[in-house]
Amino acid sequence: MSNQKSLRSTLALIVLAASLIPLQASAQSDFPFRLHNRSNGWTITAFQTFQNGTWSSNWLDGLRIGPGQNASMDWKSNAGDCTVRFRVSWADYGAEEFRTDFCKLRNLYMMNDGFRWD
């Protein structure tokens, strides 16, 4: 009886572990990137994306990215279009819109004259 209980327990653990693997893999994103501020004197205060007809909430959620600083960003999804409009706001300045292919970039650089990516 003890061997059967042990076997059942082991089997139950294997099934549970196997069922968690797909959940962990699906929670990862294929589209993480870093937002770099390479401007002279501008502080990024907001980053939003436009999808499904509406602007997202501020991805930075109160974080401020000063000149020379960067932040890790992640779509946390692999669904949707790759080329997406995004809007950036700066301290003491308004917001401006841009567009890029987020499936291809790993770094997004804010320069004094717009954005570059690689």
Q: Encode pLDDT of 66-107 as tens digits.
A: 999 999 999 877 788 899 999 999 999 999 999 999 988 999
**DSSP of 55-103, one letter per residue?**
EPP-TTTT--B-TT-EEEEE-S---S-SEEEEEEEETTS-EEEEEEETT
Q: What was the pLDDT predicted at 108?
A: 96
The 10s digit of each residue's pLDDT in 4-58 is 555 454 444 344 344 444 434 444 556 899 999 999 999 999 999 998 899 999 9
Interatomic CA distance for residues 118 and 113, integer angstroms: 16
Provide the CATH number for the domain around residue 54: 2.60.40
Q: What was the pLDDT predicted at 109?
A: 97
Query: In this structure, is residue 11 part of a structural domain?
Result: no
Query: In this structure, is residue 16 part of a structural domain?
Result: no
Query: In this structure, is residue 102 part of a structural domain?
Result: yes
Task: Quote the number of domains for the chain.
Answer: 1
Query: In this structure, is residue 19 part of a structural domain?
Result: no
State the pTM of this model. 0.73
Query: In this structure, is residue 18 part of a structural domain?
Result: no
Query: In this structure, is residue 23 part of a structural domain?
Result: no
Query: In this structure, is residue 21 part of a structural domain?
Result: no
Q: Can you give the residue range of the structural domain that contains 53? A: 32-117
